């Protein structure tokens, strides 16, 4: 079951991120897709807010990975500047992808074949200046159940 939700402002995108954050568990991996400026970081800020991260969450474009502490540790990857897939191997990605933290990856399309079987694809597209079409594509049983829970949230039924 795929799920598509339209948000009408950056604040709504962030609020949807907070709702997604409520459903995440340690060990989950969320793979983000979308053009530059589509709202991937904004969405991740919402997730982080829900998980009580005190730091300001920004796109880690120059460091590739930021680690945040909250109720659950968050590993935030931004692969925009990744030049070749060998770089991800050098980072020791397995430790991040298979640990007890929540892993969120911006520009996940660059390393799709490295992603674990169980993950959630989140594709954010521009609808207009403020609105975004956010598609959730589950990879595995864990995220099929995840999306059933997410689809029950009243505020985001389109």
- pLDDT score at 118: 95
3-state helix, strand, coil in the chain (%, to 5): 35, 25, 40
Grouping H, G, I as helix, E, B as strand and the rest as coil, residue 99 is coil
pLDDT tens string for the chain (158 positions)? Answer: 899 999 999 999 999 999 999 999 999 999 999 999 999 999 999 999 999 998 888 776 667 888 999 999 999 999 988 877 777 777 778 888 888 999 999 999 999 989 999 999 999 999 998 899 999 999 999 999 999 999 988 666 55
Distance in angstroms (rounded) separating the CA atoms of residues 116 and 98: 8
Cα angle 125, 26, 61; round to 5: 45
């Amino acid at each position: 079951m795929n799920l598509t939700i339209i948000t009408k402002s950056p604040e709504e995108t962030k609020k949807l991120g907070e709702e997604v954050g409520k459903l995440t568990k340690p060990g989950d991996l969320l793979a983000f897709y979308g053009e530059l400026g589509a709202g991937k970081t904004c969405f991740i800020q919402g997730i982080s807010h829900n998980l009580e991260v005190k730091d300001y969450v920004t796109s880690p474009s120059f460091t590739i990975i930021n680690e945040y502490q909250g109720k659950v540790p968050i590993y935030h990857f931004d692969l925009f500047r990744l030049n070749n897939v060998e770089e991800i191997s050098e980072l020791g990605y397995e430790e991040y992808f298979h640990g007890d933290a929540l892993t969120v990856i911006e520009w996940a399309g660059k390393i799709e074949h490295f992603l674990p079987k169980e993950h959630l694809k989140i594709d954010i597209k521009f609808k207009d200046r403020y609105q975004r079409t956010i598609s959730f594509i589950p990879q595995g049983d864990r995220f099929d159940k995840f999306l059933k829970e997410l689809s029950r949230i009243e505020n985001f039924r389109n």
